[in-house]
Amino acid sequence: MKIFSKILAGLLVAGTALVAEAQQTDSLIIRKLYSEALSNRSSYEQLRHLSTRIGGRLSGSVQAAQAVNWSKAEMEKLGLDRVYVQEVMVPHWVRGEKEEGKIVPVKGKKVAVSVCALGGSVGTGKKGITAEIIEVKSLAEVAKLGKEKIAGKIIFFNRAMEPSHVSTFHAYGGAVDQRSRGAIEAAKYGAVAVIIRSMNLALDDYPHTGAMRYDETVAKIPAAAISTNGAEFLSHRLKDEPGLKFFLKQNPQTLPDAKSHNVIGEIKGTENPDEIIVVGGHLDSWDLGQGAHDDGAGCVQAIEVLRLMKALQIKPKRTIRAVMYMNEENGVRGGLKYAEEAKTLNENHIAAIESDAGGFTPRGFGIDGPAKHIKQIQEWKKLLEPYGLHDIGPGYGGVDIGPLRKNSPETALIGLEPDSQRYFEIHHAASDTFDKINQRELALGAGAMAALVYLLSEYGL
């Protein structure tokens, strides 16, 4: 018994030493991944190209097709085991001519304000719509006002994102129902159009687009966003001049679905090639800006993860894929397609990471998956905290990787969580341009994902 204890103790010591040694190796490799990410500017230059040479790339657009070809070519340069595309049919909505929004006082001059059509909205007709405008703060207020007050009017949803939330995503979650369901609610009571205060915590002149929905049971009425400055101004005018009218003109169109693609690059695992780890972002963007943060950043970071593995000559034990999804913004067709293909091929995705919250300094990972997986990833905290990754715990994965949940309850869906303060200033607006990208913050995001991908590929889940 004594001898057995000694052996056991010896084994424990040896085991602890092995764990310690492995952690030292891991720590060193993570250090090298970060050093390479911070020292090499190629993903920043890729994002410059994607943002400024290709530009905004809404699903179905020429630019979206260019982005597919470009990202495929970029990955082909890396000497990966496989680069391929997945065909997917996507919605094809086009904005058409520049929108017009004007405050129409009972007396005096019309005043132009900055508006844009929400994604998926119908048009107003060539002549536009002029109608009395009513300010509300919520969907519930529309129901409360009822048909008598709403019918024939333009409804102005003006509930601001709540600034007191530290996470701007919480503030977004608390306001975005106005954008996504405002047109449905207003149409139920006979409104002729809706104007939505932009989902933006800053006060500026950019209208922010974004997806909105219709309901087949009610009329489809035009929906536009107004800049936060415009919303403040309109609200003040309404206080002074009840009965104010508004003129809205926009003529976007929904064309037939278009053919597009997801773009995928892969490094085959050496020991467990059938266990797949995905890292990705979405290639499409809204049309107003350059889609630099949303989500060019996520795309070049995903490519960078593979480049880092090659640059450090890491041969991952499990298969790593960078996936650039198409159509996150208005349909998620790429994400659905990817999951569908994975199911058809009976692929085993142990984890999927998405970067779709901007190319800002990363602060952690949100994990959607079994508690045991979350626990295991949290045990890597001491390896990740030196890089500022403290917030590692249950959370949200991402829109594009979400469909993988249907394939398996086991897959860890992981969202990179960057600092969120600046995100909604540029989200879905003309201000989402390359000059808002910081090279080091972008690189840290790639480093964070590379570190986690490396650990996942070494140890599995």
Residue 422 binding its own copies, by CB under 8 A: yes
Write down the H helix ranges in 40-161: 42-48, 62-76, 139-150
Q: Among 116, 383, 437, 444, indicate the residue that binds its own copies (CB under 8 A).
A: 444
Q: Among 24, 25, 35, 270, indicate the residue that binds its own copies (CB under 8 A).
A: 35
C-alpha torsion sign, points 47, 51, 56, 59:
negative
Q: Which one of 12-20, 32-40, 63-71, 261-269 is the stretch in contact with its own copies (CB under 8 A)?
A: 32-40
- φ, ψ for residue 91, nearest 5 deg: -60, 150
Which residue's CB is nearer to its own copies, number 428 or number 436? 436
Residue 412 binding its own copies, by CB under 8 A: no
Neighbouring C-beta atoms of residue 353, cutoff 10 Å: 29
CB 32 within 8 A of CB 312: yes
Sheet holding 129-136, edge to edge: 111-113, 100-104, 245-249, 129-136, 154-157, 193-197, 223-226, 115-117
**Distance between CA atoms of 398 and 248, rounded to whole angstroms?**
34
Neighbouring C-beta atoms of residue 6, cutoff 10 Å: 10
Name which of 277, 286, 290 is nearest 323 in CA terms.
277
Q: Among 387, 393, 408, 458, indicate the residue that binds its own copies (CB under 8 A).
A: 387
Which residue's CB is nearer to its own copies, number 315 or number 382? 382
Q: Among 29, 34, 156, 332, indicate the residue that binds its own copies (CB under 8 A).
A: 34
- What letter does residue 386 receive in the DSSP assignment? G
Name which of 195, 41, 225, 12 is nearest 118 in CA terms.
225
Residue 419 binding its own copies, by CB under 8 A: yes
Q: Among 388, 393, 395, 460, indicate the residue that binds its own copies (CB under 8 A).
A: 388
Min. distance of Cβ 454 from its own copies in angstroms?
17
Min. distance of Cβ 438 from its own copies in angstroms?
6
**Distance between CA atoms of 413 and 453, rounded to whole angstroms?**
12
- What letter does residue 116 receive in the DSSP assignment? E
Q: Among 385, 394, 406, 435, indicate the residue that binds its own copies (CB under 8 A).
A: 385
Residue 233 binding its own copies, by CB under 8 A: no
Catalytic residue among 275, 328, 417, 425: 328
Which residue's CB is nearer to its own copies, number 206 or number 246? 206
- φ, ψ for residue 394, nearest 5 deg: -55, 140
Q: Is 185 a catalytic residue?
A: no
Residue 441 binding its own copies, by CB under 8 A: yes
Q: For tokens 């659905």, name the residue.
A: 336
Residue 52 binding its own copies, by CB under 8 A: no
Min. distance of Cβ 169 from its own copies in angstroms?
13
Min. distance of Cβ 384 from its own copies in angstroms?
12
Residue 390 binding its own copies, by CB under 8 A: yes
**Distance between CA atoms of 133 and 235, rounded to whole angstroms?**
10
Residue 311 binding its own copies, by CB under 8 A: no
For residue 273 the two structure tokens come to: 């090639």
Residue 164 binding its own copies, by CB under 8 A: yes
Residue 405 binding its own copies, by CB under 8 A: no
Q: Is 342 helix (H, G, I), strand (E, B) or coil?
A: helix
Residue 38 binding its own copies, by CB under 8 A: yes
Q: For residues 344, 350, 355 and 357, what is the CA-based torsion angle, rounded to 10 degrees?
A: 100
Residues that bind its own copies in the complex, under the rule CB under 8 A: 34-35, 38-39, 163-166, 168, 201-202, 361, 363, 385-388, 390-391, 419, 421-422, 425, 438-441, 444
